[in-house]
Amino acid sequence: MSMELGEWVRDARQRTLDLVADLDDEQLMGPYLPIINPMLWEIGHVAWFQEKWVLRHVCKRKPIREDADAIWDSIAIPHTSRWDLPLPSRDATIAYICDVRDHVIEALQGDTCSERLSYFVRYTTFHEDMHNEAFTYTRQTLGYPPPEFSGAAGLQTPIPQTPPIAGDAEVPGGTFFLGAARDEPFVFDNEKWAYPVEIEPFAIGRAPVTQADYLVFVEDSGYHRAEFWTTEGWKWRESVNAEYPVYWRKDADGGWIRRHFDQWFPIDPNLPIIHVNWYEAMAYCQWAGRRLPTEAEWEFAAAMEPQSCENADASRKRRFPWGDANPSAKRVNMDWRNLGCVDVSALPESDSAFGCRQMIGNVWEWTSSEFRPYPGFVKDAYEEYSEPWFGTRKVLRGGCWTTRSRMLRNTWRNFYTPDRRDVLAGFRTCAL
């Protein structure tokens, strides 16, 4: 296990380095925006978080830099101040993050690789994985070129043509246990612990909503008809003057195009809609006579099997939609493998027991649910991971093309405020 964790540490740090390698010093700082961090600060923060919890908290070592807490502590340093900090130079920052990596790997190779050490190495690696996803959408937000990766990341994976997938999967409902089981090797505090939930029968889209689907809503004046929007959603739409998805526009010929990093492409009808927020997803559903799934419905459709429902075996759940085998390229579009989304009908081997495709990977999926603690919630050591955000975020499920496959499973919960459309999120719908 320590060897695998060491490879994860190396891999995550290399991904961080790759995601900023081509950017100049001005791009590494970027403009002030409330939805992103200066990337020079953020790469240091990622390593500082790992040093704090692994090297200082578990291994009881002295800080590598005496000024680290004053520079990179995200809880203590307001977001607005991060552009004005006396940050180390690019070279000094990279030297620091490499030092932290090397010390963590050294600790894993020692004779005292305890369960506690392994836990915090996992935690801080997954934290870095999440920030690497954030680096990706920061590059998209700022119109930077797509990153170039060392190794196999970003390589196009040949994906066989498959027939279009449409319609709903019929899900029988029943009692099941929402959340993570106690035998899971690692979970975050907001997944703990599985508890019984009763689900009514429902029908959920076999695939996410596509760009073609969403275009019909846009061209039917969906952004100009208040009857489709929640009160807060309409206020948001008016405040930013939203008339279509944030990275869409019309070209000189009147056709629709979308920006992917620094390049413009025609709308691809078979790709999932992406970069829409919760308000936009809810408005589309109202227009279409549909609704978003609750997170419990989403997890039920992803994890349960018909025979478990019939036999009232509420505790039997799949770890992934297709079963318990780890994610692979034939099942998921993750790990930056294709540097973007793939056709919603692709990867039939990803199907859940009810026939829902790509519930893991490709695009994050908004649910209707507010981010709340499960019964008996107890904070993990990193107390600020979940609790400060309860009641202010909406839950997303499933991961996207940049999410690390080592991190996800059916119970994993993501959460953002309902106005965020910079994140790599789309949605699938349910019948009313």
Kindly state whether residues 117 and 199 are assigned to the same domain.
no
299-321 pLDDT per residue, tens: 999 999 987 666 556 668 999 99
Kindly state whether residues 198 and 115 are assigned to the same domain.
no
- Per the model's pLDDT, the better-predicted residue between 214 and 150 turns out to be 214
Give 154's pLDDT tier (boundaries 50, 70, 90).
low
Orientation of helix 2-20 relative to helix 90-108, angle to 10°: 170
Kindly state whether residues 179 and 224 are assigned to the same domain.
yes
Cα radius of gyration (the chain): 22
Contact 305, 276 (CB under 8 A): no
98-151 pLDDT per residue, tens: 999 999 999 998 766 688 999 999 999 999 999 999 999 999 999 999 999 877
Question: Which residues face 170 on adjacent strands?
Answer: 203
Kindly state whether residues 336 and 388 are assigned to the same domain.
yes
Residue 35 has pLDDT above 90, yes or no: yes
252-299 pLDDT per residue, tens: 999 999 999 999 999 999 999 999 999 999 999 999 999 999 999 999
CATH number, domain at 336?
3.90.1580.10
- The tokens describing 272, both together, are 């999932």
Pairing relationship of beta strands 414-416 and 425-426 according to DSSP bridges: unpaired
Res 111: pLDDT = 62
Res 425: pLDDT = 98
- Per the model's pLDDT, the better-predicted residue between 399 and 166 turns out to be 399
Instruction: For residue 411, tell me if it sits in a domain.
Output: yes
| DSSP one-letter string for 127-138 | HHHHHHHHHHHH
Instruction: For residue 146, tell me if it sits in a domain.
Output: no
Kindly state whether residues 263 and 130 are assigned to the same domain.
no
Kindly state whether residues 137 and 160 are assigned to the same domain.
no
Instruction: For residue 401, tell me if it sits in a domain.
Output: yes
Instruction: For residue 134, tell me if it sits in a domain.
Output: yes
Which residue range forms the structural domain that includes residue 67? 2-141
**Chain mean position to CA 224:** 30
339-386 pLDDT per residue, tens: 999 999 999 999 999 999 999 999 999 999 999 999 999 999 999 999
**Section 245-256 average pLDDT:** 95
Kindly state whether residues 129 and 164 are assigned to the same domain.
no
% of the chain with per-residue pLDDT over 70: 96
**Section 148-165 average pLDDT:** 77
Kindly state whether residues 240 and 358 are assigned to the same domain.
yes
Instruction: For residue 148, tell me if it sits in a domain.
Output: no
